[in-house]
Amino acid sequence: MSPAPTSGRQLHTGIETEGAFPVEYRFTHAQKGNRHLVVVFANFSAPSDYGWSNGVFDKLRANILWIRDSFEGNQSYYLCKDMDFALEQSVATLISKVMKALDLTAGSVTLWGGSKGGSAALYFGLKYGFRNIVAIVPQFSIGTYVKNVHPGTARFMLGEGVPEENVRIVDSLVPDLVRSGANHTANIYLLSSPQDEQYPVQVEPFLSLFWRYTNFNFVLSDSPHIADHTQVTGRNVPMLMGIVNSLIDGIAPRLGFVRNGFEEPDRDRSAIDSYLADTAVVRGDEFPPPAVVAPVPRTQVRRDAVRFEGRAPGAARVAVWEQGKYLGRTDVAADGTWSWEPGRPWSTGEHQVKLYGVDAMGFQSRRTEIRFTAVDGNGANS
């Protein structure tokens, strides 16, 4: 992902230093006076540790706060260093200060993130009472995940040697919030996929914990275009943009437990291809393109005396174009003959003109291309 929005929206960068850990951020103002804030947490592979900064949010009307997950050169799930959760408090302070400066409450905020960022969105959203949470392929058992997959992150977060007790404590952070019913009226949107290798361990066992949540929504993306954890988000960007744009406008969709996907990329298309060919505007051999007898191709023609003539059997009219620009049209006589001239001199130099016939129903013939050179009177040879 690129480091900054590409839409021309002014991007502000800063560091919040009030807490025990400096927290780096990027911010862009809302468009059209919108009164909403989207807080973005990063996934592991986000360049510069800022997620969703590749331009996909350019058209969002909301204020956007990207928070960098880089603390002493390490990633942390925005939670802790050596089990010191002052890091989490430092992140919460940044969000709180931005909200206060915008005069917004938690009811006008959407927390957003994918994978590691999705876990952070769930944790901060449930613990601190934010109204909207969008968690894309998150991990619920964070301690076990970093121990097994990201050992460097595990050492930074859980301490040298990665004590098993600390693994269990961090594993329980998100599930315990859900079990307790924390922020049970939040609008929560969780996305995963059966093709995500993490789904059976990191998501599915925890879904039943949300039974008391009034608007918990789970989308299981069952698509042949998803091969693993890293591809779930890309397959679902249009759907996700629909959700976040609705939340920004104060509308909280109720989806429930749904599945999407089911594409059939290898499905036989012969029937629809046959229909499209039978009804195509540009016809085949049954409607031949116009024949041109003048000007003679690749000759010089006096620029004030260019006249097109030819035959176009089956056509009601002939259309004339040059370099994608419509020049004019002429009717075809009953015997199939036609002629056309622009009524003004052509510019000197070579011209590449395309013509096609149009029948009474609007179907078109294939194109006829004529090249000639327009010259002043003395240089013409035709």
Q: What is the DSSP string of 27-67?
A: EEPPSTT---EEEEE--TT-GGG--S-SSTTTT--SEEEEE
pLDDT band with cut points at 50, 70 and 90 for residue 28:
very high
Q: Is 85 helix (H, G, I), strand (E, B) or coil?
A: coil
What pLDDT, on the 0 to 100 scale, is given for residue 1? Answer: 35
pLDDT above 90 for 321: yes
Global pTM reads 0.84
Q: What digits encode the pLDDT tens for the residues 56-105?
A: 999 999 999 999 999 999 999 999 999 999 999 999 999 999 999 999 99
- Range in 27-31, 196-200, 346-350, 375-379 the model is least confident about: 375-379
What pLDDT, on the 0 to 100 scale, is given for residue 109? Answer: 98
Q: What digits encode the pLDDT tens for the residues 215-257?
A: 999 999 999 999 999 999 999 999 999 999 999 999 999 999 9
pLDDT above 70 for 330: yes
The continuous run of DSSP H or E covering 369 comes out as: strand 368-375
What's the average model confidence in pLDDT over 167-177?
98
Lateral strand order in the sheet of 300-302: 300-302, 368-375, 349-358, 317-322, 325-331
